[in-house]
Amino acid sequence: MDPLSLALAGAQLGTSIFGLNANSRNQAAQIQQGWDNLAFQKQNAKDNLAFQKGQADRANTLGTAGRVDAYGNKQYYDPLTNTWKTQLTDTQANITHAGELEQLKSLTEDAQRARSLAERQSQRSLAAESPYNEAIQHYINDKPATAAVLKKSLRVVISGASPLLALSWLCPEQSAHPDLV
């Protein structure tokens, strides 16, 4: 081979080696950039998770914080029983206790009184049943006094007749007095 061909072949060989080197370097740089991106995403995810945990802890702290209501009662969260509890003030505890006593009295003593009152009312109703039935029977079977009989009765009463005589006007068929008929 002549020196010129040899030089051209050497230049091509150098260019191809240099090109391969450049391609390798580009590929290596891309791989390194991918690893860097992955590391950044992983760190970003860790930071985000830590932030979310912090927010959840803060929300839990605020959510389970004790409170005092308008009456001074303390409300607090008991994590052992997973319930909210209320610590009453002395006044509120006395009011609650008095309410419970009244409810107990209502269920025991007042109920007995109500039953005895209902029994007495029932007995009065049964006792009034017979006079009521008699009055109804009297109204149905006996003729009521007419207007004329009532006028005569009033004249007698007004004129000073005896009350017994006035009552006889109400039932003229039973009256034995001839002037009244």
Per the model's pLDDT, the better-predicted residue between 4 and 146 turns out to be: 146
The string of pLDDT tens digits covering residues 56-89 is 988 888 777 888 888 899 998 888 998 989 999 9
User: Which of 25-29, 127-131, 141-145, 174-178 shows the lowest mean pLDDT across its residues?
Assistant: 174-178
**CB distance 164 to 170 below 8 Å:** no
Identify whether the C-beta of residue 47 lies closer than 8 Å to the C-beta of residue 39: no
Q: What is the dihedral of CA 111, 112, 115, 119, to 10 degrees?
A: -160
- The pLDDT tens digits of the residues spanning 110-163 come to 888 888 899 999 988 888 888 888 888 887 887 777 888 878 877 776 776 555
Most confident of 3-7, 14-18, 131-135, 163-167: 131-135
Mean pLDDT value across residues 37-47: 92
Positive or negative, the CA dihedral 38, 39, 41, 45 is positive
Which one-letter DSSP state was computed for residue 109?
I
Q: What is the pLDDT of residue 162?
A: 58
- Which range is most confident: 4-8, 15-19, 95-99, 159-163? 95-99
The whole-number pLDDT of residue 141 equals 82
What pLDDT does residue 97 have?
A: 95
DSSP strand E in the chain: where? 67-68, 74-78, 83-87
Burial 103-134 (b: 16+ CB within 10 A, else e): eeeeeeeeeeeeeeeeeeeeeeeeeeeeeeee
